[in-house]
């Protein structure tokens, strides 16, 4: 689904996580609605200091709707958000 993202900003690396040298992957699951909005978003796993930043960013993302047989469809998906120091 990542290539179908059409809106929303990438998560910002939290300052407290950087100071603590915390990095890693936050795994979220969500439903992409027929209109392309993110719904039913929840965190599956990941460093606690990074979860909030990932959740807040992803809930604002929008997607090109998934189309099946000419009709937009709801899609359940998993998202992996990687945080690494720059």
CATH of the domain at 6: 3.30.2420.10
Domain count, the chain: 1
Distance CA(50)–CA(67), nearest Å, equals 32
Distance CA(47)–CA(27), nearest Å, equals 10
**CA nearest 58: which of 84, 22, 23, 32?**
32
Predicted confidence at residue 85, as pLDDT, reads 80
Beta bridge partners of 43: 28
Distances, alpha carbon 24 to alpha carbons 4, 39, 80, in Å = 24, 24, 10
- The model carries a pTM of 0.90
Residue 75 belongs to what domain range?
2-83
**CA nearest 28: which of 66, 56, 67?**
56
Average pLDDT value over all residues in the chain: 95
Look at residue 1 and tell me whether its pLDDT is greater than 80.
Answer: no
């Amino acid at each position: 689904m990542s290539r179908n993202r059409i809106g929303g900003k990438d998560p910002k690396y939290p300052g407290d996580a950087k100071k603590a040298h915390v990095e890693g992957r936050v795994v979220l699951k969500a439903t992409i609605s027929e209109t392309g909005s993110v719904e039913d978003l929840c965190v599956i796993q990941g460093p606690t200091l990074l979860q909030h930043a990932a959740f807040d960013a992803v809930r604002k993302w929008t997607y090109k709707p998934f189309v099946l047989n000419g009709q937009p469809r709801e899609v359940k998906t998993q998202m992996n958000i990687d945080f690494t120091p720059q």
